[in-house]
């Protein structure tokens, strides 16, 4: 009988931003998360750009293959153990680019299945919280497993200033909250890998 696979202690996380805007606060959160991940042994974050993905159209699928940008994106997701979504809120929901990326990734074979995930959101009001609930609903069908705590939403307009003029996260308390999300995601991913092994 073959021995069970030993889970990897290096967790690779694909970081996706739902906003395509250059100065996006949500992209700023991901940039900060990438910097913070360098202080966590065994955690590797890579930003995965979704801006080049065409709108989902199954006419673009030819003989089981996808457009080059979609194939490259799907390969990045398939190679990751986990996902970190930065999900701004547009009209009480996730953004169109993020939903489009999820739809492409879930085309057969579904490269999202059984991955762990966490969500961070920045914005006004509830700090993007409503988009997080919708994103969780969407990802139930594609078999993504989210951490439950800590929850991370950020009202970027409430004092003190969270970002500098270049869009870099500068608030230490927010950085600590963001690091707590990464630590939780890392631990949750290792736990699920051990159970599956």
H helices then E strands: how many in the chain?
5, 6
Confidence of residue 196 (pLDDT cuts 50, 70, 90): confident
The mean pLDDT of 159-166, rounded to a whole number, is: 93
Residue 5 within any structural domain of the chain: no
CATH number where 35 lies: 3.40.50.360
| Rounded-to-integer distance, Cα 197 and Cα 192, Å | 9
How many independent structural domains does the chain possess? 1
Residue pLDDT, tens place only, 57-82? 999 999 989 999 999 999 999 999 99
Q: Where are the beta strands (DSSP E) in the chain?
A: 11-17, 43-47, 82-86, 116-123, 145-146, 152-155
pLDDT of 2 strictly over 60: no
Single pTM value for the model: 0.94
Residue pLDDT, tens place only, 117-141? 999 999 988 888 999 999 999 999 9
Q: For tokens 């080049």, what's the residue? A: 52
Task: Report residue 143 as tokens.
Answer: 């078999």
Tell me the residue range of the domain where 105 lies.
11-57+64-196
């Amino acid at each position: 009988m073959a021995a069970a696979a030993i889970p990897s202690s290096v967790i690779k996380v694909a970081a996706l931003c739902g906003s395509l805007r250059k100065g996006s606060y949500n992209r700023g959160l991901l940039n900060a998360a990438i910097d913070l991940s360098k202080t966590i042994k065994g955690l590797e974050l890579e930003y995965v750009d979704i801006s080049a993905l065409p709108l989902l159209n199954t006419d673009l699928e030819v003989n089981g293959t996808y457009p080059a940008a979609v194939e490259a994106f799907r390969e990045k997701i398939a190679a990751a153990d986990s996902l970190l979504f930065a999900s701004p809120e547009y009209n009480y929901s996730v953004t169109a680019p993020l939903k489009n990326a999820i739809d492409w990734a879930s085309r057969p074979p579904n490269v999202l299945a059984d991955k762990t995930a966490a969500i961070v959101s920045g914005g006004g009001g509830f700090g993007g919280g409503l988009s997080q609930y919708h994103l969780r609903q969407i990802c139930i069908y594609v078999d993504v497993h989210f951490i439950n705590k800590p929850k991370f939403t950020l009202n970027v307009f409430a004092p003190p200033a969270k970002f500098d003029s270049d869009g870099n996260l500068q608030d230490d308390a927010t950085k600590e909250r963001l690091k707590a999300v990464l630590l939780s995601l890392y631990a949750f991913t290792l736990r699920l890998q051990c159970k599956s092994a």
